[in-house]
């Protein structure tokens, strides 16, 4: 450490603590270029080599290493300031003590789609497989009887059973009989339109009566409404 800072041998007249205090005072009074033993117009390669050389010569002196590193950083920051002022040109690959925060490009965010209306979310049901099976078995049974029946009165009775079951099943979900009635009537209306359209296409229904085909379409619509709406 004394060889680096050229401090005269005065250890015989002062204590170790006093000597260290004198060294620290001397280092604090030196500018970074003097500590690195380089001129202010030295190249960056010379500054780096000076730092490495001094640290290598004082490997066991932690205080010296910290002082040299601080001086090196001070020199680089001084060069950075001069570069920003346009006084010197600094190589792009030089390491600065404090890197400027890199500006990240703005992130492109996808436009958010409008969520489904609340009334639609509240109307859709997510039944489990058991509920779907129960409702499906009920309407499948009614549809099977309707296909085998040759009586209009029987078809009307089966349809009445389907409507009654639909009212019961929908009402048990929300305990709203009026809402259940509206959904049931909507299912019957849509089913009647679809069934009538099928019959008008000239669909061959023999030997099954057209009314039975229409009843089956109604039961399918009731099954969909009872299973997936509430």
What mean pLDDT is predicted for residues 176-204? Answer: 86
Give residue 185's pLDDT: 92
What mean pLDDT is predicted for residues 191-214? Answer: 81
What mean pLDDT is predicted for residues 150-177? Answer: 87
Query: What contacts 223, CB < 8 A, 6 or more positions away?
Result: 135, 136, 139
Give residue 96's pLDDT: 46
Q: What is the pTM of this model?
A: 0.47
Query: What contacts 154, CB < 8 A, 6 or more positions away?
Result: 145, 146
Give residue 10's pLDDT: 46
Give residue 123's pLDDT: 75
- Give 1-32 pLDDT, tens digit per residue: 444 445 455 444 556 666 556 655 555 567 88
Higher pLDDT, 26 or 54: 54
State how far the Cα of 223 lies from the Cα of 132, in Å rounded to an integer.
8
State how far the Cα of 208 lies from the Cα of 28, in Å rounded to an integer.
108
Answer yes or no: is pLDDT of 212 > 70: yes
Answer yes or no: is pLDDT of 141 > 90: yes
140 band by pLDDT with thresholds 50, 70 and 90? very high
Nearest Cα to Cα of residue 151 among 203, 215, 70, 92: 215
State how far the Cα of 163 lies from the Cα of 166, in Å rounded to an integer.
5
147 band by pLDDT with thresholds 50, 70 and 90? confident
Higher pLDDT, 105 or 1: 105
What mean pLDDT is predicted for residues 136-144? Answer: 91
**Quick one: how far is CA 68 from the chain centroid?**
46
State how far the Cα of 170 lies from the Cα of 227, in Å rounded to an integer.
9
Nearest Cα to Cα of residue 33 among 15, 46, 19: 46
Give residue 42's pLDDT: 82
DSSP string computed for 56-118: HHTTT-HHHHHHHHHHHHHHHHHHHHHHHTTSS---TTPPPSSPPPPPPPPPPPPPPPPPPPH
């Amino acid at each position: 450490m004394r060889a680096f800072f050229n401090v005269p041998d005065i250890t015989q007249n002062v204590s170790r603590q006093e000597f260290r205090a004198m060294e620290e005072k001397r280092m604090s009074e030196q500018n970074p270029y003097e500590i690195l033993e380089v001129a202010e117009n030295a190249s960056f390669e010379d500054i780096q080599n000076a730092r490495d050389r001094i640290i290598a010569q004082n490997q066991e002196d932690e205080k010296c290493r910290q002082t040299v590193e601080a001086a090196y950083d001070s020199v680089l920051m001084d060069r950075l300031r001069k570069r920003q002022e346009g006084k010197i040109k600094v190589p792009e690959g030089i390491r600065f003590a404090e890197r400027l925060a890199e500006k990240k490009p703005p992130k492109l965010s996808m436009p958010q789609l409008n969520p489904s209306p609340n009334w639609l979310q509240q109307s859709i049901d997510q039944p489990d497989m058991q509920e779907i099976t129960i409702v499906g078995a009920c309407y499948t049974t009614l549809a099977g009887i309707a296909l085998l029946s040759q009586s209009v009165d029987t078809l009307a009775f089966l349809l009445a059973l389907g409507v009654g079951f639909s009212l019961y099943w929908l009402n048990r979900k929300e305990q709203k009989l009026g809402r259940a009635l509206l959904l049931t009537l909507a299912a019957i209306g849509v089913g009647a339109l679809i069934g009538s359209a099928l019959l008008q296409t000239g669909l061959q229904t023999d030997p099954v009566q057209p009314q039975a085909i229409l009843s089956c379409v109604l039961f399918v619509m009731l099954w969909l409404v009872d299973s997936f709406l509430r």
